[in-house]
Amino acid sequence: MAALIAENFRFLSLFFKSKDVMIFNGLVALGTVGSEELFSVVAFHCPCSPARNYIYGLAAIGIPALALFLIGVIWNNHTWNLVAECHKRGTKNFSAAATFLLFGSIMGRACVAPITWSVISLLRGEAYICALSEFVKPSSSDKFPAEYGAEVLAKIPCRDVPANLTKFRDEVTRRLRYESQLFGWLLIGIVAVLIFLTKCLKHCCSPLSYRQEAYWAQYRSNEDKLFRRTAEVHSRILAAKNVKQFFGFVALDKEEKELVQEFPVEGVQPSPQWNAITGVYIYRENKGFPLYSRLHKWAKGVEGNGPTPEGHELLFLAS
């Protein structure tokens, strides 16, 4: 049981596999901060009306966060690798816990932008004040006029209150801003603790040494860059051949002519080869030698996904 738990926890390593992930997450967070500031200045206008304040305030925090979360899921390559894996091979190669943690890793990457949005919104406080101003109990303020109720309190964010309530307006605004910022700082603290625990679990449960893991990250990055670059050249040359066959000639610039002459393309890769290198990859070893990707495994001619007498598979997710 302990071994199974340790293997499943290795899926958590998706969050901080390389410095590139940290840089990407930082850029996402900075972009979200700028977007939230622009939204607050341009688009946020509290209705200052009972019942509407609460809905509008929560929507201003929650709906953009939900949209950013969905965009993060869509932009994550692991999402489509998982879809391809389920479509082509099913989830038979993953335990229930491993599948859950795989989903968790995708969701965790997608949470960077929405959490940043929520934190900045809470630290600014406008949306929180708008949402909860009408729920402030008049009895909580000293000498609050009894004739005023929720309708007047709902107008506090717009500063549209009677002159004799100016002191109470400032007090209520200050109190709600304090609560909003407190929740914002607590959210930052909780996320920081979760990130720290995740990194600790990742390094403790990793089957690889620090140097081998760094090499694996470099290999994945280089393989991806070379694959994309080669695919772009291959597709251009293949397209040139097909256009020439149709028209009898093809208009190529000097660079493209050199590519066509230097890299002859005879055909395209069959679908089984594309399927073999597509999907979720779990780190594995064959006869003591590591296989760093699905392309690497295909190049070595290793068949199947499960453990074999000659191979040893470790539940360690590749980014």
C-alpha 262/C-alpha 250 separation (Å) is 17
How confident is the model over 61-84, as a mean pLDDT?
86
For residue 34, what pLDDT band results from cuts at 50, 70 and 90?
Answer: low
pTM reported for the whole predicted model: 0.69
For residue 164, what pLDDT band results from cuts at 50, 70 and 90?
Answer: confident
Higher pLDDT, 265 or 88: 265
pLDDT mean across residues, the chain: 78
Compute, in degrees rounded to 10, the torsion defined by CA atoms 267, 273, 274, 280.
-160
pLDDT of 309 strictly over 60:
no
Helix residue spans in the chain (DSSP H): 2-9, 19-42, 52-75, 77-88, 96-110, 112-124, 126-132, 150-153, 166-205, 210-247, 254-262, 271-276, 294-299
pLDDT, tens digit (0-9, with 9 covering 90-100), for 131-163: 998 888 776 666 666 666 777 778 888 877 777
pLDDT of 75 strictly over 80:
yes
Nearest to 293 by CA among 240, 219, 229: 219
Report the pLDDT value the prediction gives residue 82, as an integer from 0 to 100: 78
C-alpha 196/C-alpha 158 separation (Å) is 41
CB atoms within 10 A of CB 311: 18
CB 282 within 8 A of CB 101: no
pLDDT of 70 strictly over 90:
yes
Report the pLDDT value the prediction gives residue 42, as an integer from 0 to 100: 53
For residue 286, what pLDDT band results from cuts at 50, 70 and 90?
Answer: confident
Report the pLDDT value the prediction gives residue 165, as an integer from 0 to 100: 72
Nearest to 135 by CA among 103, 107, 176: 176
pLDDT of 264 strictly over 80:
yes
Report the pLDDT value the prediction gives residue 181, as an integer from 0 to 100: 94
Nearest to 46 by CA among 64, 61, 66: 61
Higher pLDDT, 194 or 303: 194
Determine what percent of the chain is predicted with pLDDT higher than 90. Answer: 22
Report the pLDDT value the prediction gives residue 227, as an integer from 0 to 100: 95
pLDDT of 32 strictly over 80:
no
Sheet containing 289-291, strands listed edge to edge, beginning at the edge strand earlier in sequence: 289-291, 282-286, 311-317
What's at 31, amino acid-wise? G
pLDDT of 180 strictly over 50:
yes
Higher pLDDT, 5 or 314: 314
Higher pLDDT, 312 or 64: 64
C-alpha 304/C-alpha 50 separation (Å) is 62
Report the pLDDT value the prediction gives residue 2, as an integer from 0 to 100: 41
Tell me the C-alpha to C-alpha distance, in Å, between residue 11 and each of 95, 108, 124, 184, 227: 12, 12, 35, 29, 25
Torsions phi, psi of 293, nearest 5? Answer: -165, 170
Is residue 91 exposed (0-12), middle (13-18) or buried (19+ Cβ within 10 Å)? middle
Report the pLDDT value the prediction gives residue 66, as an integer from 0 to 100: 93
Higher pLDDT, 161 or 8: 161
Q: Hey, where are the domains in the chain?
A: 42-205, 210-300
pLDDT, tens digit (0-9, with 9 covering 90-100), for 241-251: 999 999 999 99
